[in-house]
Amino acid sequence: MQRITEPDSLQLAFSVAFPSLVLASSSPNRRSLLENGGSEVRIFIPDADETKDGSNPLETVLKIAERKLDIYLASQLFDPSLPAISCDTMVLIDNMLLGKPQDEEDATKMLRQLSGRRQSVISAAFIYLPEKGKIAVPDEAGVIFRNLSEDEISAYIKTGEWQGAAGGYRLQKTGYTLIDRIEGDWTTVVGLPLKKILSRREC
């Protein structure tokens, strides 16, 4: 697939709806996704339990995202006048949830598993809106990988982009070169479902 040129129309529309917000996440991808569109972002890094304890993949990811937001809402830094967003993202393939790789070997294993196949990327956000309170905003997108050679996998691992990335790749950097196509919202694959969040705000 081609590299996505930022900011796109979705990011710009999001910044109009959310000119300032708190992002309860340490993810540089999520931060840049918002800032590239023009939103002013305050960062809160929650020390959240990321145990996979849901009864199904979506519930698992939602629970982690909710814990992240709840930590912010209970903190002394909580600003009730500002919207806040938390999110968790995982890759679903072979009925397994792939989170962040532990090391290069783990990342290599993930990319081999994804090569030439379709995966589901689940990005479950929780948002706090001053006028509405807390709202769950889950979304899912399909990602189809190209057939990757061992040399391509090795070269990508050497970039270090796999670190801290669900499934072992980052779409916003050079990870797009691994992908044939996306079915759904590309921001969901990055880790923050902007289109779905906008639609929930407007309801």
- Residues annotated as catalytic are 88
Q: How far is C-alpha 50 from the geometric centre of its chain's CA atoms?
A: 14
Structure tokens at 150: 């061992």
Listed in sequence order, the residues at least 6 apart from 47 whose beta carbon sits closer than 8 Å to its beta carbon are 71
For residue 185, the 8-state DSSP code is -
The total number of residues shown for the chain amounts to 203
CB neighbourhood size of 95 (10 A): 6
In contact, 25 and 87? CB cutoff 8 Å: yes
Whole-angstrom distance between the N-terminal and C-terminal Cα of the chain?
33
